[in-house]
């Protein structure tokens, strides 16, 4: 970005918090003032939500930036904080997890039971020779054992590295090797799209190339036949026969908790390292504050996979540290039918739903009659994470899931930030569709120009974080130089998030996608997000992706890929007409500079396995290049569908 990011979208709708929620909210406006007056004092107060075996001597040691130490000298056990202390407080019978498998089988796991299972797994891992500091790779479907495995590692001070179950043997191999994992925890497979999907063969292939791995623990889920080697142990024969007694030993606040690899689109994946005290403090605080979580009465559901950071912080650590009751679902949203999610909300009386824009846009495509067939009256708060949420998708979510009245918290954060950073507070903030609004209390986020100067209201630029925060990444595993280079070198003394952002006239923050995706059209920097949002604001479009393609006259030209809503006719002339309408609609909404040169109507978009649009591949299509690396694609056939349609639709 050589110039400021153009501010094209003018969204003026605004919604105050519901009065009843505001009157009884966990957090009031005072939190901002408290944190502004004494940021470290504020985080020390939040750290007291946890139970410490030894209190810290210093809240933050920032004497060697960018290497932070939080709660220096403090000691705690993460699993104790997520389990034992709730059981000790008499809450052992509270449901921790309402689990539902894709085929419809269910399990109800109380805090007492989750505690017992975790103690057994901790004992089993110890027996297999895993000690504090050792790395354990976890490659599991969405079964309760995934949470148990993570908590068991935390309990014994081992470092988990969860690898999403959809990754290939190569990706798994790289991640196991990078961390020199000693044990791999996996399953025979899981259920996806109505059938068993095997995992063990992938692990076998990976382990053959990973000499560091001494043992493989295998959960039996699908019951399918698996190959067996001397390193393999069944979970039910090893963990479920171990002692249920295990005393949680306290560890230093900076004891590593996990490594999570960000799926690099081009480069080698980065092993993001998180530690215990600061991470758990911010995960616990944000889950409580942003979801207005009331553990006695709420039923919370985060639809992410445990293989992503959202699953780490907002399925495992944040909710469990708060003693919350939650739903965990194994499968896909359209198996066996497109109402599966709403059926789950209705069955368990879900009160708080946390999902991703990609899912909301998919639901838009399927049509509003599907959520309308279910009783969603238990819901009281909605959340979004993973990508910028287009204003129309936000409105659809509020209207068709939130009865036109529920607050939506659009939470911006990253694997690297560990926990939420920018989000409305549901009892305080007047929300605007498409804006993450403001940094949370205790967080200093800013939007700066090329020179690192704060942009005024109305300006656009780069999102940065000016002060360290408790759940920040501590380094890239084994590569301090790359940590400094990637995040701390672009602007002196600031963390560079890699996202474009703007500040509206009221000073509120709008995320505009990855800086690498920004387009330069006739000298104007235009965000893909804004053009996509303009397209999605047309009643015929459910989802859109926009890229800049090299153009002889304008430098880059805007090429758009749009998925029509379910009932829209796109055959022949109707399709041509829709494309013409859409080009004009964008020009009218954002100005002529943003009018796409070309729009393609497509049935699907290429997405990463965590649901983020892969614009890089669409750029290849738009510029008639052969496709780059497609290994992180969720569905590799999508690109054939899109490429084969290219050529028409100018």
Annotated binding site: 192-195, 310, 386-388, 410-415, 499, 514, 522, 536, 538, 541
In sequence order, what are the residues at sequence separation of 6 or more whose Cβ sits closer than 8 angstroms to the Cβ of residue 583? 595, 596, 599
Q: Is the distance from CB of 273 to CB of 475 less than 8 angstroms?
A: yes
Shorter beta-carbon distance to ligand 6R9: residue 309 or 586: 309
Dihedral sign, Cα of residue 580, residue 585, residue 586, residue 588: positive
In sequence order, what are the residues at sequence separation of 6 or more whose Cβ sits closer than 8 angstroms to the Cβ of residue 148? 114, 117, 118, 121, 239
Q: Is the distance from CB of 203 to CB of 217 less than 8 angstroms?
A: no
Q: Which of 75, 123, 411, 435 forms a contact with ligand 6R9 (CB under 6 A)?
A: 411
Shorter beta-carbon distance to ligand 6R9: residue 226 or 494: 494
Measure the CA–CA gap between 229 and 127, rounded to whole angstroms.
19
Shorter beta-carbon distance to ligand 6R9: residue 308 or 397: 308
Distances from the Cα of 281 to the Cα of 99, 278, 420, 545, angstroms:
26, 5, 12, 36
Give the H/E segment covering residue 618: helix 615-622
- Tell the smallest beta-carbon distance from residue 317 to ligand 6R9 (Å): 14
Of residues 421 through 450, those in contact with ligand 6R9 by CB under 6 A are 436
In sequence order, what are the residues at sequence separation of 6 or more whose Cβ sits closer than 8 angstroms to the Cβ of residue 247? none
Measure the CA–CA gap between 218 and 222, rounded to whole angstroms.
11
282 binds ligand 6R9 (CB under 6 A): no
- Tell the smallest beta-carbon distance from residue 613 to ligand 6R9 (Å): 11
Q: Which of 150, 290, 385, 599 forms a contact with ligand 6R9 (CB under 6 A)?
A: 385
Count Cα neighbours of 269 within 13 Å in the Cβ-side half-sphere.
24
- Tell the smallest beta-carbon distance from residue 9 to ligand 6R9 (Å): 14
Q: Which of 32, 191, 279, 413 forms a contact with ligand 6R9 (CB under 6 A)?
A: 413
Binding part of the chain for ligand 6R9, among 277-285, 306-314, 318-326, 622-630 by CB under 6 A, reads: 306-314
- Tell the smallest beta-carbon distance from residue 310 to ligand 6R9 (Å): 5
Measure the CA–CA gap between 501 and 509, rounded to whole angstroms.
7
- R_g of the chain computed on alpha carbons: 24
- Tell the smallest beta-carbon distance from residue 301 to ligand 6R9 (Å): 17
* Locus of tokens 């599907």: 370
- Phi-psi label, residue 586: left if phi above 0, alpha if psi -120 to 50, beta otherwise: alpha
Of residues 214 through 243, those in contact with ligand 6R9 by CB under 6 A are none
Q: Is the distance from CB of 609 to CB of 167 less than 8 angstroms?
A: yes
Of residues 597 through 616, those in contact with ligand 6R9 by CB under 6 A are 610
Binding part of the chain for ligand 6R9, among 96-104, 200-208, 308-316, 485-493 by CB under 6 A, reads: 308-316
359 binds ligand 6R9 (CB under 6 A): no
Q: Is the distance from CB of 83 to CB of 114 less than 8 angstroms?
A: yes
414 binds ligand 6R9 (CB under 6 A): yes
415 binds ligand 6R9 (CB under 6 A): yes
Shorter beta-carbon distance to ligand 6R9: residue 287 or 385: 385
Binding part of the chain for ligand 6R9, among 94-102, 383-391, 451-459, 531-539 by CB under 6 A, reads: 383-391
**What's the gap between Cα 113 and its chain centre?**
27
* Known binding-site residue numbers for ATP: 386-388, 410-415, 499, 514
- Tell the smallest beta-carbon distance from residue 286 to ligand 6R9 (Å): 12
Shorter beta-carbon distance to ligand 6R9: residue 397 or 412: 412
Binding part of the chain for ligand 6R9, among 39-47, 206-214, 493-501, 515-523 by CB under 6 A, reads: 493-501
Binding part of the chain for ligand 6R9, among 9-17, 43-51, 413-421, 564-572 by CB under 6 A, reads: 413-421
* Locus of tokens 């918290």: 409
According to DSSP, the residues that pair with 75 across neighbouring strands are 54, 252
Helices 200-207 and 169-179, packing angle to 10 deg: 50
Q: Which of 117, 152, 226, 309 forms a contact with ligand 6R9 (CB under 6 A)?
A: 309
Measure the CA–CA gap between 142 and 166, rounded to whole angstroms.
11
- Tell the smallest beta-carbon distance from residue 485 to ligand 6R9 (Å): 17
Q: Which of 217, 497, 622, 639 forms a contact with ligand 6R9 (CB under 6 A)?
A: 497
499 binds ligand 6R9 (CB under 6 A): yes
265 binds ligand 6R9 (CB under 6 A): no
Instruction: Give the interface with ligand 6R9 as residue ranges (CB under 6 A).
Output: 262, 308-310, 384-388, 410-415, 436, 497-499, 511, 514, 610
């Amino acid at each position: 970005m050589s110039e400021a990011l153009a501010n094209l979208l003018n969204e003026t709708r605004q919604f105050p918090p519901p009065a009843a929620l505001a009157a009884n909210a966990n957090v009031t406006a005072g939190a901002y003032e408290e944190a502004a007056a004494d940021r470290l004092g504020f985080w020390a107060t939040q750290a007291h939500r946890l139970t410490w075996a030894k209190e810290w001597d210093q809240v933050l040691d920032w004497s060697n930036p960018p290497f932070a130490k939080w709660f220096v000298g403090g000691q705690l056990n993460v699993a104790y904080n997520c389990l034992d202390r709730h059981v000790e407080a008499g809450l052992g019978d509270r449901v921790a997890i309402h689990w539902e498998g894709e085929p419809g089988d269910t399990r109800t796991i109380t805090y007492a039971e989750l505690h017992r299972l975790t103690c057994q797994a901790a004992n089993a891992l110890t027996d297999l020779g895993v000690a504090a500091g050792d790395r354990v790779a976890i490659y599991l479907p969405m079964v309760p054992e995934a949470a148990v495995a993570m908590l068991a590692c935390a309990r014994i001070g081992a470092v988990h590295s969860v690898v999403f179950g959809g990754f290939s043997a190569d990706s798994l191999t790289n991640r196991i090797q990078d961390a020199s994992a000693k044990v791999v925890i996996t399953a025979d497979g899981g259920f996806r799209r109505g059938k068993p999907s095997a995992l063990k063969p992938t692990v076998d292939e990976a382990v053959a190339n990973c000499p560091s791995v001494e043992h493989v623990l295998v959960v039996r889920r699908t019951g399918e036949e698996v190959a067996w080697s001397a390193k393999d142990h069944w979970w039910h024969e090893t963990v479920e026969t171990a002692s249920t007694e295990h005393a949680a030993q306290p560890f230093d606040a900076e004891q590593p908790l996990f490594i999570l690899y960000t799926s690099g689109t081009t480069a080698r994946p980065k092993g993001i390292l998180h530690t215990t005290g600061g991470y758990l403090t911010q995960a616990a605080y944000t889950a409580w504050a942003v979801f207005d979580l009331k553990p006695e009465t709420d039923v919370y559901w985060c639809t992410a996979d445990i293989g992503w950071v959202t699953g780490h912080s907002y399925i495992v650590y944040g909710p469990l540290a708060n003693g919350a009751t939650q739903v965990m679902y194994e499968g896909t949203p359209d198996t066996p039918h497109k109402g599966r999610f709403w059926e789950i909300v209705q069955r368990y009386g879900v009160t708080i739903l946390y999902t991703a824009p990609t899912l909301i846009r998919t639901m838009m495509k399927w049509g509003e009659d599907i959520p309308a067939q279910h009783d969603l009256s238990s819901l009281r708060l909605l959340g979004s994470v993973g990508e910028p949420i287009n204003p129309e998708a936000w409105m659809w979510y509020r209207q068709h899931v939130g009865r036109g009245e529920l607050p939506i918290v659009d939470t911006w954060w990253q694997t690297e930030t560990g926990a939420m950073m920018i989000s409305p507070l549901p009892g305080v903030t007047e929300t605007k569709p498409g804006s993450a609004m403001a940094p949370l209390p205790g967080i200093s986020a800013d939007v700066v120009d090329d020179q690192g100067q704060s942009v005024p209201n109305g300006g656009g630029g780069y999102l940065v974080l000016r002060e360290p925060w408790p759940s920040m990444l501590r380094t890239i595993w084994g590569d301090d130089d790359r940590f400094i280079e990637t995040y701390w070198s672009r602007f002196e003394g600031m963390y560079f998030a890699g996202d474009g952002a703007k500040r509206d006239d009221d000073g509120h923050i709008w995320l505009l996608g990855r800086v690498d995706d920004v387009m330069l059209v006739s000298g104007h920097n235009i965000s893909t997000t804004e053009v996509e949002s303009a397209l999605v604001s047309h009643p015929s479009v459910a989802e859109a992706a926009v890229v800049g393609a090299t153009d002889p006259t304008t430098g880059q030209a805007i090429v758009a890929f749009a998925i029509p809503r379910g009932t829209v006719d796109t055959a022949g002339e109707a399709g041509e007409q829709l494309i013409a309408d859409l080009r004009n609609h964008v020009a009218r909404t954002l100005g002529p500079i943003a009018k796409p040169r070309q729009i393609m109507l497509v049935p699907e978009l290429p997405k990463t396995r965590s649901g983020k649009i892969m614009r890089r591949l669409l750029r290849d299509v738009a510029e008639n290049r052969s496709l780059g690396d497609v290994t992180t694609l969720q569905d590799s056939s999508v690109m054939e569908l899109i490429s084969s349609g290219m050529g028409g639709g100018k």
